[in-house]
Amino acid sequence: MQAIKRILVIIDPSQTEQLALNRAKLIAGVIESELHLLVCENRQDHKPLLDKFCTELEAAGFKASASQSWHGNLTDTIVQATSAQGCGLVIKQHLPDNPLKKALLTPDDWKILRYCPAPVLMVKTTESWMRGAVLAAVDLGNHDDQHHILHDTIVSHAADIVEMINGELHLVSAHPAPMLSAADPVYQLRENIAARYVEEARKYIDQYELDNERLHIDEGPADTLIPKVAKQVGASVTVIGTVARKGISGALIGNTAEVILDQLESDVLVLKPDDMIAHLEELLEK
């Protein structure tokens, strides 16, 4: 996270408490990054509010700038501002969607997770992160290079946050149920599957000195296990990756990061593979 020089903070004028701004100050204060505040709407001029926030931030020692814009929808507005301002992180407050609306329309925050060419921190609580648990969620069953790099990125970002808040790192990965018909005999016995996943986690166990209490490998769907473990450990923030699935399959299935967004009680930091970020940046330039 130290490489992030500029953070885009989404300001919602309808909210009395700016949760995203509070988190941004915590992170920027440690990694010494600049803040750019953005209001996404064109109905009312919010320059006085933005000026007030910038003045307060500068008085507190932060470098801050602000703008208000609208490019037809929330996602495009944030994506274009991320690129234009050269931001390496986007922080936004997440408000749960109406279940009926979510069943009919793709929620705005899902679209932001899919299309934003930078990591996105969705803030859900006012709770302090300090000395809290940070949960890194990885899919240890995926062995391709893209997932290995994404896993490394997830765990290293989680470890950076742990250092920032003097917290405790936890790792979670869900494994499939045993199948007697599985071609690989390892996947025919629950104990063997768990042992395989622990072995896949070995480099993180060794590198970050994770004991059994902080390693959570269990059977079940990831979108059920991750919120369960996050609640058990009292996670302040959960770090997860997304493959940003698009099209019909994305609309019907959704990514784990999207599905668990409303289920998690903690803040959520969502990361993408580097090649996907490069692809999104190419689309932006067209």
Sequence ranges of the chain with CATH classification 3.40.50.12370: 133-281
Q: Tell me, which fold does domain 6-93 have in CATH? A: Rossmann fold (3.40.50)
What is the predicted pLDDT for the residue at 114? 86
* Average pLDDT value for residue range 62-78: 96
What is the predicted pLDDT for the residue at 277? 55
**Positions of E strands within the chain:** 6-11, 34-40, 64-69, 89-93, 120-123, 133-137, 168-175, 215-219, 235-241, 267-271
The more confident residue out of 269 and 258 is: 269
Residue 139 has pLDDT above 60, yes or no: yes
What is the predicted pLDDT for the residue at 87? 96
Token output for 274: 């580097």
Sequence ranges of the chain with CATH classification 3.40.50.620: 6-93
Residue 260 has pLDDT above 50, yes or no: yes
| Long-range Cβ pairs for the range 255-261 (8 Å, 24+) | 255/113, 255/114, 256/137, 256/222, 256/223, 256/226, 257/113, 258/107, 258/110, 258/113, 258/114, 259/223, 260/222, 260/223, 260/226, 260/227, 261/94, 261/109, 261/110, 261/113, 261/122
Q: Spelled out in words, what is the top-level CATH class assigned to the domain 133-281?
A: alpha beta
Measured at the CA of 120, the angle between CA 159 and CA 77, to 5 degrees, comes to 160
- Pairwise CA distance, residues 253 & 272, whole Å: 18
Token output for 253: 């299935």
- What is the pTM assigned to this prediction? 0.89
The more confident residue out of 277 and 127 is: 127
Residue 60 has pLDDT above 50, yes or no: yes
